[in-house]
Structure 1
Amino acid sequence: MTARHPFSFLVHPRTRLSEDLSRVWRPLGRVPDGVYDTALRRLPLAPVTMAGIEIGGERVGHVVLVPFGARHLLQAPAEGRARVARAVDRAVRLGSGTVGLGALTATVTGGGVALRDRTDIGVTNGNAFTAATVDSQARHLLESLPWASERHVAVVGATGSVGTAVARLLARDGAVGRLTLVARAAPRLEALAADVGRAVPTLTSTDVAAAANADLVILLTASADCVLAPEHLAPNALVLDATQPRNTSPDLLTQRPDVTVVDGGVVDIPSLRIVGGDIGLPHGRAYACFAETALLALSGHRGHFSIGAPGLDLVDRTRDLAAGLAHLGFVPAPPTSFGRPIEDAVPALSAVPAVPQPSAVAA
Structure 2
Amino acid sequence: MPACWKTLAAPLCAALAIATATAAHAAEIAFSSQRDFTEISLTIKDTYNANPDSVALEITLSQDAQQRMAAASGAALEQDLTVVIDGRAVSTSHVQSVVDTPQLRIAMPKQAVMELLPSLLGASAAVNPQGAPAEPAALAAPAPADTHAPLLAAAPYVVQAQQVTPPSVSESPAESPAEAAPMPMPAAQEPGLAPGVPPDLAMTPAADAVPPPPSPLPSLPPPPPPLAIPSWALGAWLPTSATPSPYAEINQGDPVAIYASAVDAINCNRARLSILDSSNARVRLRVAPDSQCVISGVRVDRLQLSPALEAGKIAISLYAPQDDINGPPSKESIYRRR
Q: Same fold (TM over 0.5)?
A: no
| Structure with the larger helix share | 1
Decide which structure has the larger Cα Rg and report it: 2
User: TM-score, normalization: structure 2?
Assistant: 0.20
User: TM-score, normalization: structure 1?
Assistant: 0.19
Name the structure, 1 or 2, with higher relative contact order (CA <8 Å, separation 6+): 1
| Structure with the larger strand share | 2
